[in-house]
Amino acid sequence: MALIHSFEKSGNYLFRNRGHIPVILFVLAVPIIYITDTSYYSRTTILFIQIFSIAVSATGFFIRAVTIGTTPAGTSGRNTKEGQVAEQLNTTGIYSVIRHPLYLGNYLMWIGIVLFTYNIYFVIIISLAYWLYYERIMFAEERFLEKKFGQDYLDWSLQAPAFFPSFARYRKNTVPLSLKSILRREYSGVLATVFGFAFVDNIRIYFETGTFQYDRISNIVLAVTLVVVLILRSLKHYTKILDEKGRS
């Protein structure tokens, strides 16, 4: 099999199984937290790392929210678990400055949690692993778009970087930001991220004290997030409040 076909096949396989990544991260985080020595960190340093970690994940969510909230139905960027979906090519708004904004958002959301372990080596390892994993996925997606849209896709790909935004190339979006789309589609990602922070916080406290402290702020935030998510999920599945014409 030619390498181009091998990369495309493996990229599609990895795309379908990308949901396993959070589980792998949680499993790996446990021994990393255990072996990470934070005794030489000052309180100020730890507080800075905590705030920075949350800010990184929040930035990732913001990128995803803008992408989801400005993406109409039937366009590129609307992929499903089964495969690639695109009836028209996204080239405006956030897609005018970066070709894969959702994957950049994913990286920032998850690397924020990894930073929360206070282990820089874990951050480097996960960053390299993410690059290798998603490079194949992005390759497969771009092969699909090239086959479907031909020269239009090639012209766009020459203007918009794959992963690092170039804001100088920004073109105004064709549709307005939809809060309903964000609320309908992003609650699970927010819950997973909050759970990740709470998981790391609770595991670290357990290793330090030998007990679980259920009244920690991370657990309170997780509980509130869970309630909000259940409400949004109910609105999505049992009402039409979050439905919006022209949005997926």
Spatial separation of the C-alpha atoms in residues 98 and 162, rounded to whole Å: 6
89 part of a folded domain: yes
pLDDT of residue 157: 84
Average pLDDT over residues 175-196: 92
Higher pLDDT, 135 or 218: 218
- pLDDT tens for 58-111 read 999 999 999 998 887 666 554 545 555 556 788 888 998 999 999 999 999 999
69 part of a folded domain: yes
Range of the domain at 73: 3-175
Residue 127 sits in a domain of what CATH number? 1.20.120
Residue by residue, DSSP assigns 4-40 as HHHHHHHHHHHHHTGGGHHHHHHHHHHHHHHH---TT
Residue 4 has pLDDT above 70, yes or no: no
pLDDT of residue 78: 47
CB of 157 closer than 8 Å to CB of 72 = no
Q: What percent of the chain has pLDDT over 90?
A: 46
CB of 93 closer than 8 Å to CB of 177 = no
Higher pLDDT, 17 or 225: 225
CA dihedral 94, 96, 102, 108 (to 10 degrees): -70
Residue 199 has pLDDT above 70, yes or no: yes
Spatial separation of the C-alpha atoms in residues 144 and 49, rounded to whole Å: 40
233 part of a folded domain: no
pLDDT of residue 111: 96
- pLDDT tens for 102-126 read 999 999 999 999 999 999 999 999 9
- pLDDT tens for 48-59 read 999 999 999 999
Spatial separation of the C-alpha atoms in residues 32 and 199, rounded to whole Å: 13
205 part of a folded domain: no
Those residues with Cβ within 8 angstroms of residue 30's Cβ, 6 or more apart along the chain or in another chain: 203
pLDDT of residue 16: 73
Spatial separation of the C-alpha atoms in residues 192 and 189, rounded to whole Å: 5
111 part of a folded domain: yes
pLDDT of residue 17: 67
CA dihedral 132, 137, 140, 145 (to 10 degrees): -130
pLDDT-based confidence at residue 171 (cuts at 50, 70, 90): confident
Token pair for residue 101? 């904004």
Average pLDDT over residues 177-196: 92
- The domain total for the chain is 1
pLDDT of residue 150: 85
At how many degrees (to 10) do helices 3-16 and 120-149 cross? 110
Summary mean pLDDT of the chain? 86
pLDDT of residue 194: 97
133 part of a folded domain: yes
150 part of a folded domain: yes
Token pair for residue 187? 């609650």
pLDDT of residue 14: 65
196 part of a folded domain: no
Residue 28 has pLDDT above 70, yes or no: yes
